[in-house]
Amino acid sequence: MTRAGPYMLGRGGEIADLGGLALKAGAKQTSEAVSVYEGGLPARTAGPPLHVHDGTDEALYILEGEVTIRLGQETIRADAGAFVWIPRGVPHTFANLGGAPARMLGLAVPGGIEDLLAVVPRNGSPGDQAQMVALAQKFGSRTVGPPLSLEPTAADRAASPTSPSH
Protein backbone atom coordinates (compact mmCIF):
# COMPACT_ATOMS: atom_id res chain seq x y z
CA MET A 1 0.00 0.00 0.00
CA THR A 2 1.26 3.48 -0.82
CA ARG A 3 1.14 6.28 1.69
CA ALA A 4 -1.55 8.90 1.06
CA GLY A 5 -0.51 12.39 0.09
CA PRO A 6 -1.93 15.55 1.64
CA TYR A 7 -5.64 16.02 1.07
CA MET A 8 -8.15 18.79 1.71
CA LEU A 9 -11.86 19.09 1.05
CA GLY A 10 -13.31 22.57 1.28
CA ARG A 11 -16.11 23.73 3.57
CA GLY A 12 -19.42 22.04 2.79
CA GLY A 13 -17.78 19.69 0.29
CA GLU A 14 -18.40 16.01 -0.12
CA ILE A 15 -16.91 13.29 -2.28
CA ALA A 16 -20.10 11.26 -2.42
CA ASP A 17 -23.57 11.09 -0.92
CA LEU A 18 -23.79 7.78 0.95
CA GLY A 19 -27.57 7.74 1.20
CA GLY A 20 -27.75 10.77 3.48
CA LEU A 21 -24.16 10.68 4.77
CA ALA A 22 -21.67 13.05 3.18
CA LEU A 23 -18.35 11.28 2.56
CA LYS A 24 -15.56 13.73 3.41
CA ALA A 25 -12.57 11.39 2.91
CA GLY A 26 -12.53 7.75 1.95
CA ALA A 27 -10.17 4.88 1.33
CA LYS A 28 -9.22 6.27 -2.08
CA GLN A 29 -8.19 9.67 -0.71
CA THR A 30 -6.34 8.28 2.35
CA SER A 31 -4.78 5.08 0.95
CA GLU A 32 -7.26 3.16 3.15
CA ALA A 33 -6.05 4.83 6.36
CA VAL A 34 -9.40 6.38 7.38
CA SER A 35 -12.91 7.16 6.19
CA VAL A 36 -14.64 10.35 7.37
CA TYR A 37 -18.35 11.01 6.93
CA GLU A 38 -20.92 13.51 8.20
CA GLY A 39 -24.62 12.99 8.68
CA GLY A 40 -27.72 14.26 10.35
CA LEU A 41 -30.19 12.43 12.52
CA PRO A 42 -33.67 13.97 12.70
CA ALA A 43 -35.40 14.34 16.06
CA ARG A 44 -36.88 11.14 17.50
CA THR A 45 -35.06 8.88 15.03
CA ALA A 46 -33.42 5.52 15.66
CA GLY A 47 -30.08 4.77 14.07
CA PRO A 48 -28.84 1.39 12.82
CA PRO A 49 -29.46 -1.93 14.57
CA LEU A 50 -26.99 -2.86 17.30
CA HIS A 51 -23.92 -3.99 15.37
CA VAL A 52 -20.23 -4.86 15.65
CA HIS A 53 -17.27 -4.11 13.40
CA ASP A 54 -14.60 -6.76 13.96
CA GLY A 55 -12.00 -5.09 11.76
CA THR A 56 -12.82 -1.39 12.09
CA ASP A 57 -12.50 1.14 14.91
CA GLU A 58 -15.05 3.92 14.76
CA ALA A 59 -15.41 7.35 16.34
CA LEU A 60 -18.27 9.84 16.48
CA TYR A 61 -17.95 13.56 17.08
CA ILE A 62 -21.27 15.23 17.88
CA LEU A 63 -21.53 18.47 15.91
CA GLU A 64 -25.08 19.49 16.91
CA GLY A 65 -27.81 18.21 19.18
CA GLU A 66 -27.71 15.22 21.48
CA VAL A 67 -27.30 11.55 20.54
CA THR A 68 -27.94 8.54 22.75
CA ILE A 69 -25.29 5.89 22.08
CA ARG A 70 -25.16 2.29 23.24
CA LEU A 71 -21.61 0.98 23.68
CA GLY A 72 -21.61 -2.66 24.74
CA GLN A 73 -23.81 -2.78 27.86
CA GLU A 74 -23.56 0.96 28.58
CA THR A 75 -25.86 3.64 27.19
CA ILE A 76 -24.58 7.24 27.17
CA ARG A 77 -25.83 10.62 26.08
CA ALA A 78 -23.42 12.65 23.98
CA ASP A 79 -24.15 16.28 23.20
CA ALA A 80 -22.53 18.78 20.85
CA GLY A 81 -18.75 18.74 21.26
CA ALA A 82 -18.60 15.19 22.64
CA PHE A 83 -16.20 12.65 21.14
CA VAL A 84 -16.99 8.93 21.37
CA TRP A 85 -14.41 6.21 20.59
CA ILE A 86 -15.86 2.83 19.55
CA PRO A 87 -13.11 0.18 19.41
CA ARG A 88 -13.53 -2.74 17.03
CA GLY A 89 -15.45 -5.60 18.61
CA VAL A 90 -17.72 -3.38 20.74
CA PRO A 91 -21.45 -3.66 19.90
CA HIS A 92 -22.89 -0.21 19.28
CA THR A 93 -25.81 1.78 17.95
CA PHE A 94 -27.23 5.27 18.39
CA ALA A 95 -30.47 7.24 18.23
CA ASN A 96 -31.70 10.79 18.54
CA LEU A 97 -34.27 10.56 21.33
CA GLY A 98 -34.65 14.33 21.64
CA GLY A 99 -36.86 16.89 19.99
CA ALA A 100 -34.13 18.61 17.93
CA PRO A 101 -32.05 17.32 15.01
CA ALA A 102 -28.50 16.12 15.61
CA ARG A 103 -25.44 16.09 13.35
CA MET A 104 -22.37 13.88 13.70
CA LEU A 105 -18.98 13.43 12.12
CA GLY A 106 -17.92 9.79 11.91
CA LEU A 107 -14.46 8.31 11.43
CA ALA A 108 -13.61 4.70 10.64
CA VAL A 109 -10.11 3.20 10.82
CA PRO A 110 -9.01 1.63 8.54
CA GLY A 111 -10.83 3.36 5.70
CA GLY A 112 -13.15 1.76 3.19
CA ILE A 113 -16.34 1.39 5.20
CA GLU A 114 -18.00 3.92 2.89
CA ASP A 115 -18.88 1.03 0.56
CA LEU A 116 -20.98 -0.49 3.37
CA LEU A 117 -22.43 2.84 4.52
CA ALA A 118 -23.65 3.55 0.98
CA VAL A 119 -26.00 0.54 1.05
CA VAL A 120 -27.20 0.67 4.67
CA PRO A 121 -30.94 1.41 4.53
CA ARG A 122 -32.10 4.67 6.06
CA ASN A 123 -35.57 6.12 6.56
CA GLY A 124 -37.08 2.67 7.12
CA SER A 125 -36.36 1.35 3.62
CA PRO A 126 -35.34 -2.33 3.38
CA GLY A 127 -32.35 -1.77 1.06
CA ASP A 128 -30.54 -4.45 -0.92
CA GLN A 129 -30.10 -7.13 1.76
CA ALA A 130 -27.82 -9.40 -0.32
CA GLN A 131 -25.47 -6.51 -1.11
CA MET A 132 -25.52 -5.40 2.53
CA VAL A 133 -24.68 -8.89 3.83
CA ALA A 134 -21.78 -9.26 1.36
CA LEU A 135 -20.32 -5.86 2.26
CA ALA A 136 -20.88 -6.44 5.98
CA GLN A 137 -18.86 -9.67 5.71
CA LYS A 138 -16.13 -7.83 3.79
CA PHE A 139 -15.81 -5.31 6.64
CA GLY A 140 -16.26 -7.82 9.46
CA SER A 141 -19.55 -6.19 10.49
CA ARG A 142 -22.60 -7.99 11.78
CA THR A 143 -25.94 -7.13 13.37
CA VAL A 144 -26.25 -8.36 16.97
CA GLY A 145 -29.48 -6.71 18.14
CA PRO A 146 -32.21 -4.18 17.45
CA PRO A 147 -31.88 -0.40 17.18
CA LEU A 148 -32.33 1.69 20.31
CA SER A 149 -35.97 2.14 21.28
CA LEU A 150 -37.44 5.60 20.87
CA GLU A 151 -39.57 5.03 23.98
CA PRO A 152 -38.04 6.53 27.13
CA THR A 153 -36.85 4.05 29.74
CA ALA A 154 -37.40 4.41 33.49
CA ALA A 155 -33.82 5.76 33.74
CA ASP A 156 -34.55 8.36 31.03
CA ARG A 157 -37.69 9.52 32.84
CA ALA A 158 -35.81 9.74 36.16
CA ALA A 159 -33.02 11.81 34.54
CA SER A 160 -35.41 14.23 32.81
CA PRO A 161 -36.23 17.45 34.65
CA THR A 162 -39.89 17.88 35.43
CA SER A 163 -41.58 20.92 34.02
CA PRO A 164 -43.37 23.18 36.47
CA SER A 165 -47.18 23.24 36.41
CA HIS A 166 -48.92 26.45 35.53
Instruction: Please report, for the domain that includes residue 118, its CATH number.
Output: 2.60.120.10
Alpha carbon distances (Å) from 50 to 31, 87, 148, 166: 29, 14, 8, 41
pLDDT per position as a tens digit, 10-30? 898 888 888 888 999 999 999
pLDDT at 91 over 70: yes
Q: Per-residue pLDDT for 161 more than 70?
A: no
User: Is residue 8 included in any domain, yes or no?
Assistant: no
Residues 44 and 9: their CA atoms lie apart, in Å, by 31
Indicate the number of domains in the chain. 1
List CB contacts of 64: < 8 A, sequence separation 6 or more.
Answer: 80, 101, 102, 103
Residue 92 forms part of a structural domain: yes
Looking at the domain assignment, is residue 31 inside a domain? yes
Residue 111 lies in a domain: yes
Neighbours of 146 (CB within 10 A): 10
Q: Domain for residue 46, yes or no?
A: yes
pTM of the predicted structure, to 2 decimals: 0.82
| Residue 166 placed within a domain | no
Most confident among 7-21, 89-103, 144-158 (mean pLDDT)? 89-103
